[in-house]
Structure formats: C-alpha cells, structure tokens
Amino acid sequence: MAWLASARWPLLATAFVLASVVAAGRLGPWEGLLAFAVVLLATAVAPRASAPAPREVGGGVKALREELSAILSGLPDPVLVLDRRGFVTVFNERARAALGEIRIGEPVSFALRAPEVLEAVRAASSAPQTVLYVERAPVERWREAHVAQTRLSPGAGVLTVVALRDLTEQRRSERMRGDFVANASHELRTPLASLLGFIETLQGPAKNDVAAREKFLEIMRAQANRMSRLIDDLLSLSRIELKAHVKPRSVVDLAELVRGVADSLQPLARERGVEIALTLAQASVRGDRDELIRVAENLIENAVKYGQSGGRVDVGVDLGAEGARLVVRDYGPGVAPEHLPRLTERFYRVDVGDSRDKGGTGLGLALVKHILQRHGGRLTIESAAGDGATFTALLEPADAPANVGQDLKRAS
C-alpha cells in the first residue's frame, strides 16, 4: 500500500474539494462519494511515476551492485555496466581514472561522448559491437570499446557491458616502428641511388676517362662505407634491444677503456685541430666492454666533430655519489634547448646535411642511450647554445651494493 501513502496529499485535496462541492449543494452526497471512489481507483492502477533507475535490476539492487563492482574492480581495463535505458549502473575504478567524473544513474553519454561508442551501445541490442575511437582532449588517446548485452539470470533485466581498452601506446609504437623502417630505408636509398648513378656514368659517358674513374670510385667507396656504417649501427641497435633486459655482469676498468678510445680518436682530432684533454680517475664498472667502447667512441667523436670550433674536448672519468661517470665536454656551438630532448631518438639530427657530411648515421646517441639503459645507467645532456655541450654517462660502479643500479634507473 505504499502507493496510498505517496498519494495521500492529492487524495486529501480531492476529498476536500468534493466535500465543498457537496456542501454547496451542487452534487449529491452519493455522487460525491462515487467521484472520490473513481479518483481513488485511478490512483491505485495508474503506473507509478518513474522509479529510480537501479530498480530495474531487481530487488537486492545494492547487494547486486556491490557484487558486480567487486568483480569489475579486479579487471585491468575500464568497464561500465548500463541498465536497459543506457543509464550507468556500475563502473570500476579504472573507468573513473580513464573517463573522469561518472555518476550512477546518469546516461552513459555523460561519461562517454564519442558518437561511435554511443552508436555501438544502441546497436548492441542486436549483436555485440567493437569500435575504435579517438579522444582528442585533453591528450590524444586511442581506445577500443567492446559493447555487449547480457542478463544476470533468465528473468532479469538486460544489462549492457561497455569495456574499454587503451590502444594509445600500441599505436604509438606501431607508428614509431613504421617511421623507423621508413627512415632506415630512406637513409640506405640515398647512397644507393648515388652509387647506381656513378656506375651508370662509368659504364657510359665516362667509360674511358681514367681521371673521372678514379674520382668516382673514391666517392663510391665513401657511399658504400656509409651504407655499411648504417647497417652496422642498425644491427647493433637491434642486438642491444634483444638483450635489453639482461644486465652485463663483467667488471670493466672505465678509465683504461676511455683512454684507449681517446687514443684511437687522436687522428680524427688532429685532423680537425681539436685537443682531447683527459682527466681519468680510477673507476671500475659492471658492464659489457665492447658496448661501453661504443658509448665512449660516440660521445667523444660527436664532441670532436660537432664541437670542432671550440678546439678542445675535455674527457673525464670519476667515481661520485651517484655512480661512475664519463663526462665529455666540448666548447663548440652546443645544442639549442628545443633539440635536447630529442637527440637520443633514432635518426634525429639537428642538421641532417651536417651530420651526413661528417659521416654520421643519426643512430649514435640512440645506441648510447640503449646501452646505458641495459647497464642500469643513464645519459644526461646539458648545453647552452653557443657554449658547448656536456654529455654525461652514469654507470653502476663494480663494487656497488645491489640497489645502486635501481636508484640510477629510477632517477632516469
């Protein structure tokens, strides 16, 4: 009889009006009573004004919602459950984290605005739906929504389950892989096109020109060397990626290794009028010797080539509180701040033409970064335009307690 309680005020008002009309003599007492009975009956059979949404699910709504909520909280992806009318009944913490404000009892369109998803919710009554959509704000996010209808038991109301999957990272790495292949092909095609051009010239117009042949063969050798360097760097990168999670354990004398690399780069430095000044303190690190040689080689060679105008490169090895450090400082033009965060990306160069002229592949610093990461270390770059650049490789000392490497990783 809850309906009687909720309708008591309109019924009392009706009774009062009818009683006044009867008292005024406009209606007989029996007619008055009959009119009241009709109003009472109409109130009893009329459909109740819209019940709160969760009633749809059944009696123990709260308990049911708590059970569903507990199940959904264990899932790794955002999930929302909607009632028959598309109002949110249950959602998990992941959904709140992904979509922001969501309220029980509100239409799903308040939480999910993508038209593709709302269309999928409508279409799910005939078959489960999967749609890919993109959120543009506040940052671009790619998601896949799976929408399916279900019933908790044969007689129960229909529920719509909306499960979301974040594909942003996957798409980003696919795009990066695509860019990488395109870049690598382009880098190989340029010297290859030049080689083919010279071969044609040597077979045709310059067939009997001895002087031209000598000159062209020299250029062809340089181009072939460039292709070979590129392939070596690509292979090194992929080898290091394969071993990314295996930490090298052998002990390497960093000072001695750096001295060897600096010696091997002396001819290049002399050719460019650069003095390499060494300040080497004793420091042993855990690492892979060949890979650490690549690190020192790349950093010192870059400093000599790009910092040539400074005429001097300082190379230091020391053992500090943070770990073992290899510091390479040049006094050349440095790197403008907008380029700094991207320098370790594959094929990223401040000036592509300049790098190519100097025999660069654009992969050196990417290699350095990957090698250091595999060693539990990291690379930092400091530079003020016009005032040279300082590249610091931080490594785990050989006698470090086990947690030092973790600290380095966390800080990077």
Ligand X SMILES: Nc1ncnc2c1ncn2[C@@H]1O[C@H](COP(=O)(O)OP(=O)(O)O)[C@@H](O)[C@H]1O
Could you tell me the two tokens for 134?
A: 């993109």
CB 335 within 8 A of CB 343: yes
Give least dist CB 398 to ligand X, A.
27
Run of H or E including 45: helix 29-45
Closest C-alpha to 325, from 293, 285, 290? 285
308 forms part of the interface with Mg ion (CB under 5 A)? no
Minimum CB–partner distance for residue 209 and ligand X (Å):
34
Residue 306 interaction partner, one of Mg ion, ligand X, none, beta carbon < 5-8 Å per kind: ligand X
> Please, which residue, 89 or 298, has the CB nearer to ligand X?
298
Query: Which one, 162 or 300, has the nearer CB to Mg ion?
Result: 300
Is 284 or 344 the residue whose CB approaches ligand X more closely?
Answer: 344
User: Looking at beta carbons only, is 248 or 332 nearer to ligand X?
Assistant: 332
Q: Which of 88-96, 116-124, 300-308, 312-320 is the region at the interface with Mg ion (rule: CB under 5 A)?
A: 300-308
Figure out which of the listed residues 78, 333, 364, 405 binds Mg ion, where binding follows CB under 5 A: 364
Residue 236 binds which entry of Mg ion, ligand X, none, with Cβ cut-offs from 5 to 8 Å by kind? none
Let me know if 323 is exposed, middle or buried by CB neighbors in 10 A (0-12, 13-18, 19+).
buried
Q: Residue 345: what residue type?
A: E
Burial class (CB in 10 A: 0-12, 13-18, 19+), 350: middle
Q: Which residues pair with 312 in a beta bridge?
A: 275
Q: Shortest approach of Mg ion to residue 305 CB, angstroms?
A: 7
Amino acid at 204: G
In the complex, the smallest distance separating the C-beta of residue 365 from ligand X, rounded to whole angstroms, is 3
Q: In the complex, which residues of this chain contact ligand X (CB under 6 A)?
A: 298, 302-303, 306-307, 330, 332, 335, 343, 349-351, 355, 360-366, 389
Cβ 249 to ligand X, closest distance in Å? 27
| d(C-alpha 46, C-alpha 406), whole Å | 70
SS3 130: strand
- Indicate whether 302 belongs to the interface with Mg ion (CB under 5 A): yes
- Closer CB to Mg ion, residue 294 or residue 375? 294
- Name the minimum Å distance from CB 223 to Mg ion: 18
Q: What is the b/e burial string over 94-126, where b = at least 16 CB atoms within 10 angstroms of the residue's CB?
A: bbeebbeebeeeebbeebbeeeebbebbeebee
Nearer CB in complex with ligand X: 32/360 = 360
Q: Which residues bind Mg ion (CB under 5 A)?
A: 302, 364
